[in-house]
Amino acid sequence: MAPPPSFGANSAAARDIANVLHPYTDLESHQQVGPVVITRGQGVRVWDEAGKEYIESVAGLWCAALGFDNERLVQAAVTQMRKLPFYHGFTAKSHEPMIDLAEMLIARAPVPMSKVFFANSGSEANDSAIKMVWYMNNALGRPLKKKIIGRVKGYHGITIGSASLTGLAANHRSFDVPLPGFLHANTPHHYHGARPGESEDDYATRCARELEDLILEEGPETVAAMWAEPVMGAGGVILPPRGYFPKIQAVLKKYDILMVADEVICGFWRTGTYWGSQSFDIQPDILVCAKALSSSFLPISAVMVNEPVFQAIAKESHTIGTFGHGFTYSGHPVPAAVAIETLKIYDDLDIGSHVAVTGPHMQAELQRRFAGHPLVGEVRGIGLIGAIELVADKAAHANFPPAAKVGPRLSRLCEENGVIGRTLANDVLAFSPPLIMTKDEIDEMLTRVGKALDELTVQLRREKIAVVG
């Protein structure tokens, strides 16, 4: 299909339409609409090819924690490229960046961890952890203990295994996933899931009871692990109800089921603590991280495992003769060097203290500006991650019909007002800005979003789309 003439025959947009298959895109519509071509970035802002400036309210994909330019990270990559541009970790080979980064992660882990395995994305890391869980249970003589529990609306990636673990319909439909053996517990969202008059604590107790019922129905001897994001990201920036994680971990411990914390979004100060696990009292057996590990300047992810998991894996690898898993770029020295420098920058800038100021400011401003807005049902968040959920009926917590495309319309209006945002299912507008964002920049971002939201309200009323304030 030929691109629309307005793009110009040799424009970047026309060449994109002709050649690129985009992730998370309506590919047919894209042939007509075309891309927003981003050409440069600085701080919390990016610019498109026409010179239009945007505040990046989600740090790209929850990931550019240090913003869109950082000379220290550039130099770390250049220096390592000149010293050792590539080496692998297969057959007991190693190099200092991989060793140093593993050591740094172990030292910063929220609970004692034993070893670190490196991959290139959160999807690969979660997929690797799934295989490790299966491998471990084979080593322990438990061949039936293989089922994995995710959660409805949880997001853990898009490889075949991690997509099976993910609990979002768009990641399943027409892909023939989830695979057998992947289960999904309920979404722990008090706003939508609680019964009338049910407190957060009572709701958390019920979530734990329902989890136990699921385990008993499947057979505890068949269930190996449960995955959870401290805060559900792509599923809608959903915070757990108070007491949720201690209650569900008690159930998991009772039936000898591993707890896996997916810290791909929440790690490295996003929730106000170094790890989201520390914000919600999670004691993981396995921890997966990515994104802010290198501020996403280069692809890298990590899986941390505790000593019991490692010992079982090590034993089985000795029996077989090798641990038959890994990637060419596992622990690649250049991304590893950039990740090392990223962790040093977090320490040098005392990012934790910065987020301790800017995080509460963002949460307070989200509440002040939007909680009373006629379109907004719930404002939620912690640290520098937050969301506003648009609803048609505030009293009933009822969302707009998907056909109204209220969320996508808000995204477009945000872009017109100079904010690149991300709307999720149920018309949720997410916020996860670079961790370096200042209070003034937060205010400017939310002012622009407020204008977009007001414009959307006028449009919906003009179109007589029901809004019950």
pLDDT tens sequence for the chain (469 residues): 444 446 677 899 999 999 999 999 999 999 999 999 999 999 999 999 999 999 999 999 999 999 999 999 999 999 999 999 999 999 999 999 999 999 999 999 999 999 999 999 999 999 999 999 999 999 999 999 999 999 999 999 999 999 999 999 999 999 999 999 999 999 999 999 999 999 999 999 999 999 999 999 999 999 999 999 999 999 999 999 999 999 999 999 999 999 999 999 999 999 999 999 999 999 999 999 999 999 999 999 999 999 999 999 999 999 999 999 999 999 999 999 999 999 999 999 999 999 999 999 999 999 999 999 999 999 999 999 999 999 999 999 999 999 999 999 999 999 999 999 999 999 999 999 999 999 999 999 999 999 999 999 999 999 988 665 5
Domain membership flag for residue 14? no
Residues 137 and 61 in one domain: no
- What is the structure's pLDDT at 1? 41
User: Hey, is 98 helix, strand or coil?
Assistant: helix
Alpha-carbon span 7 to 1, nearest angstrom: 14
pLDDT, tens only, 43-81: 999 999 999 999 999 999 999 999 999 999 999 999 999
Confirm if 136 and 128 have CB atoms less than 8 A apart: no
Residues 245 and 364 in one domain: no
Residues 263 and 300 in one domain: yes
Residues 258 and 112 in one domain: yes
Query: Which tokens is 422 given?
Result: 């991300």
Residues 326 and 209 in one domain: yes
Residues 323 and 208 in one domain: yes
Alpha-carbon span 215 to 21, nearest angstrom: 40
Residues 285 and 373 in one domain: no
Domain membership flag for residue 293? yes
Query: Which tokens is 317 given?
Result: 């690898």
- Which residues have C-beta within 8 Å of that of residue 89, sequence separation ≥ 6? 98, 118, 326, 330, 331
Rounded to 5 degrees, what are φ and ψ at 215? -65, -45
Rounded to 5 degrees, what are φ and ψ at 382? -160, 140
CA atoms within 13 A on the CB side of 407: 21
First to last CA, the chain: 44
Residues 43 and 151 in one domain: no
Other residues' Cβ atoms within 10 Å of the Cβ of residue 34: 18
CATH number of the domain that residue 264 is part of: 3.40.640.10
**Burial call 409-446: b when 16+ CB within 10 Å, e when fewer:** bbbebbbebbbbbbbbbbbbbbbbbbbbbeeebbebbb
Residues 169 and 114 in one domain: yes
User: Residue 383 is part of which domain span?
Assistant: 36-69+350-462
Residues 383 and 442 in one domain: yes
Residues 55 and 157 in one domain: no
- Classify strands 286-289 and 258-262 as parallel, antiparallel or unpaired: parallel
Alpha-carbon span 379 to 236, nearest angstrom: 11
Alpha-carbon span 104 to 76, nearest angstrom: 16
Report how many domains make up the chain. Answer: 2
Domain membership flag for residue 115? yes
Domain end, chosen from 348, 379, 412, is at: 348
Domain membership flag for residue 141? yes
Q: From 432, 440, 445, 415, select the one nearest 65 (Cα to Cα).
A: 432
SS (H, E, C) 388-449: EEECCECCCCECCCHHHCHHHHHHHHHHHCCEECEEECCCEEEECCCCCCCHHHHHHHHHHH
CATH number of the domain that residue 444 is part of: 3.90.1150.10
Domain end, chosen from 322, 348, 374, is at: 348
Domain end, chosen from 328, 348, 368, is at: 348
Domain membership flag for residue 10? no
What is the reported pTM? Answer: 0.96
Helices (H), 239-388: 244-254, 276-279, 307-320, 333-348, 351-370
Alpha-carbon span 166 to 235, nearest angstrom: 9
Domain membership flag for residue 300? yes
